[in-house]
Amino acid sequence: MFAVITATGYMPNGVYEGGFANLGSQDQCLKVESNKGIRGRYCTLFWRPPTEVSLAAFTKEELRENPRLDIRLWLNNTRERFHVGSRSGVCIPSTCQQKEMNHIISGVASAYGAEASLKYCRTKEAVRFKKLEVGIMTTIPAMVVVLAFFLLPKLVHGPLAEEHLSKYYNGCSKNWWTVLVHINNFNKYEEICLDHYWYISVDMQIFVVASVLCVLMTRCLLWALALCCTTVVVFASWPWNNMKLPSRGVAALYSALHKNAWALSLGWITYACATGQAGKARLKSP
């Protein structure tokens, strides 16, 4: 509660010197959160005091500091400033709705001949992006870069330009679409378009795969472990078949564990199907 009170901006500082705003602390207000789910709601209070009372107070103060003041000119300017009004930042609990608070504040202010309204209320919400927005953020920048490379031959000229940039020209002319669908890392190095974009492609692929694995790990832990084990057993030897032999430690570990891991994985799949834990998947005898 103390954080809510201190985050509110009260009377603007230096009113007599032309200060007409005190915004308080929005960050402090939005950080407020209780165990009961109540959070801080930051709003902007626009208010205008009664013109007659305010002008009298301002005129007295101004004449005290400046006895030679042109009172007629000063009053005209001051009326215009009071017509604009002031604004203050207000921090209220999230359970208080803007419409209800606005009704209370305007009623109290009108009783004293003033005007007040509460606007622009907000609470701290998690930033969420729609699928279309994510697609725009990931695809459009890549498209712009690809288009830039198509325009590069028309903009860059010189004795070494073709020698150094031919790799980019040839790769992007054939495989520009792989950048947009995020499979750029599967191209050969000589045929890759924008080789520094391989990281974006890998990151997107890992994100998609990791999302599926996270769902499986939370809902079907044993199924996820079985799929991971069978995948590792099958594909771990792929580099070895291309004459990239592993170290002795890796070879010994694979030889000792791959048969047991394969058997346990298939055993769980068989058991799950036989006991009705496999959903629509069924194992039937031939």
pLDDT of residue 170: 73
Pick the most confident of 141-145, 206-210, 230-234, 242-246: 230-234
pLDDT of residue 263: 92
Please give, one letter per residue, the 3-state secondary structure of the chain. CHHHHHCCCCCCCCHHHCCCEECCCHHHHHHCECCCCCEEEEEEEEEECCHHHHHHHHHHHHHHHCCCCCHHHHHHHHHHHHHHCEEEEEEEECCCCHHHHHHHHHHHHHHCCCEEEEEEEEECCCCCCCHHHHHHHHHHHHHHHHHHHHHHHHHCCCCCHHHHHHHHHHHHHHHHHHHHCCCHHHCCHHHCCCHHHHHHHHHHHHHHHHHHHHHHHHHCHHHHHHHHHHHHHHHCCHHHHCCCCCCHHHHHHHHHHHHHHHHHHHHHHHHHHHCCCCCCCCCCCC
Average pLDDT over residues 60-88: 58
pLDDT confidence bin for 221, thresholds 50/70/90: confident
Q: Is residue 84 pLDDT above 70, yes or no?
A: no
pLDDT of residue 286: 42
- pLDDT: is 37 or 252 the higher one? 252
pLDDT confidence bin for 283, thresholds 50/70/90: low
Average pLDDT over residues 278-284: 64
Lowest mean pLDDT among 82-91, 94-103, 108-117, 186-195: 82-91
Average pLDDT over residues 171-199: 81
Pick the most confident of 148-162, 180-194, 237-251, 258-272: 258-272
- pLDDT: is 191 or 62 the higher one? 191
pLDDT confidence bin for 192, thresholds 50/70/90: confident
Lowest mean pLDDT among 69-78, 110-119, 154-163: 69-78
pLDDT of residue 130: 79
Lowest mean pLDDT among 37-46, 116-125, 157-166: 157-166
pLDDT of residue 63: 56
Q: Is residue 238 pLDDT above 80, yes or no?
A: yes
- Percent of the chain topping pLDDT 70: 76
Q: Is residue 50 pLDDT above 70, yes or no?
A: no
Lowest mean pLDDT among 37-41, 47-51, 176-180, 221-225: 47-51
Mean pLDDT, rounded, of the chain: 76
Q: Is residue 105 pLDDT above 80, yes or no?
A: yes
